[in-house]
Amino acid sequence: MSEQAPQRSLELFKSGFFCAESVLLAIAESQGIQSDLIPRIATGFCSGISRTGGMCGAVSGGIMGIGLVAGRDSPAESLEPAYTLAQKLISTFEKQYGSVNCRQLIGCDLDTKAGQRYFMENNLMERCLQCAADATSMPVSLIDELHSSRTI
């Protein structure tokens, strides 16, 4: 099922969910995780953290997906599994795209009408869809590796 997660994130994105929501939902589904909080918890991370031009919402969704699997349940647990996977995601995504910053990735400011118009006129949704697919497949691969290493 995890190999279908990138396609699922695209389906969700095209259905009206945004980047962070789609990625988190797809990762959660691939791991058999359901919660009424998903996708609500991811909404503010969409569009470069609420159109501020910050971290790409797809990457944020990927980090939240990692947290679902590798996050801790108590203060006594280690942060390292989640931090390590999140750092790997950020590094891999940054190597592929040159940035994890929304404004740099799409080249416009989504918080302005002019930026939103530029986004639409230049079909930048295609770029976002590719980012979402990759920001889903990357953490799912990392999670699969984590599961493999735990069973050995």
**pLDDT digits over 53-111, tens only?**
999 999 999 999 999 999 999 999 999 999 999 999 999 999 999 999 999 999 999 99
**Residue ranges making up the domain that contains 24:** 2-151
**pLDDT digits over 126-147, tens only?**
999 999 999 999 999 999 888 8
What Cα–Cα distance (Å) separates residue 131 from each residue in 7, 102, 137, 146, 150? 12, 10, 10, 23, 29
Whether 1 shows a pLDDT value over 70: the answer reads no
Percent of the chain at pLDDT > 90 equals 92
Element (H, E) at 34: none
**pLDDT for 148:** 82
**pLDDT for 99:** 98
**pLDDT for 146:** 83
Buried b or exposed e, range 30-64, using 16+ CB within 10 angstroms? bbeeeeeebbeebeebbbbbebebbbbbbbbbbbb
Closest CA to 128 of 100, 151, 106: 106
Name the pLDDT band for 151 (thresholds 50, 70, 90): low
**Which tokens go with 89?**
């995601």
**What is the C-alpha to C-alpha distance for residues 15 and 124, in angstroms, rounded to an integer?**
17
Domain count, the chain: 1
**pLDDT for 152:** 41
Closest CA to 100 of 42, 144, 26, 49: 49
**What is the C-alpha to C-alpha distance for residues 107 and 104, in angstroms, rounded to an integer?**
5
**pLDDT for 32:** 95
